[in-house]
Amino acid sequence: MAVMSKRCAVIDYGMGNLHSAHGALQHVAPDTEVLVTRDPEQILSADHVVLPGVGAIRDCMAEMRAQGIDQVVEEVRRSKPLLGICVGLQSMLQHSAENGGVEGMGLFAGEVKFFAEQPEVQQQQLKVPHMGWNQVQQEAHPLWHGIADNSRFYFVHSYYVEAGDPQQVMGRCHYGVSFDAALAQDNVFAVQFHPEKSHNAGLALLKNFLAWDGQA
């Protein structure tokens, strides 16, 4: 009897290049079938689901709602491991200040704020976007397994997450202000940085995700 290989769905809702995410996931788990898809059936039948996102959040949310992806994500988060990346994370918050204010899916309490509007960022004349490799201070979670605390990951973003519930914060970062770089609740884990672009630390996190059963 053939062993069924595991499947991972990377949700494609038309926002940007998913080549990197697909490539990195496939690289760390050659035996896993990694699909880039917007088909609800394929997403809901996968073992692991990744919600990426780049660009403006208004466009991301509009596309997700137009294609019913928000409903699919709502179902996924009740049933299987889900990894949000970058704007994928931001879309899971209640509200974002970007584009004049955008409502997110509200999987996590809290909001998304603009670096350039923070007095600390202005005083220190920090460049926005926050672009490059920064350290993440971890809270215990299976997805950090084997990754040293304060390892650097690759970030590129102008808006950042401020979680409403400190219990859900699994990683913190600092750029003028302290912000939340990783959130988790039950079988959902979401990060601001790009694990698919973060060399060994990022690949380790993706590998941990694909090995994760969704239990903290």
Residue with tokens 């997110």: 104
Sort strands 152-157 and 130-135 into parallel, antiparallel or unpaired: antiparallel
Tell me the closest approach of the beta carbon of residue 30 to other proteins, in angstroms. 12
Residue 48 is a catalytic residue: no
**Among residues 8, 48, 60, 86, which one is catalytic?**
86
Residue 60 is a catalytic residue: no
| Closer residue to other proteins (CB): 108 or 179 | 179
| Closer residue to other proteins (CB): 187 or 202 | 202
CA atoms within 13 A on the CB side of 5: 10
Residue 173 is a catalytic residue: no
Two structure tokens written together for 119? 């007095």
* Helices and strands, counts by H and E, the chain: 7, 14
Helix, strand, or coil here: 61?
helix
Tell me the closest approach of the beta carbon of residue 102 to other proteins, in angstroms. 15
The whole-angstrom separation of Cα 170 and Cα 114 is: 21
The whole-angstrom separation of Cα 139 and Cα 40 is: 33
Which residues of this chain interact with other proteins, rule CB under 8 A?
A: 16-17, 19-20, 23-24, 27, 54-56, 116, 125, 127-135, 137, 148, 150-152, 154-158, 173-175, 196-203
Give residue 116's Cα distance to chain centre: 22
| Closer residue to other proteins (CB): 187 or 196 | 196
Tell me the closest approach of the beta carbon of residue 171 to other proteins, in angstroms. 12
Tell me the closest approach of the beta carbon of residue 93 to other proteins, in angstroms. 19
Q: Report the catalytic residues.
A: 86, 194, 196
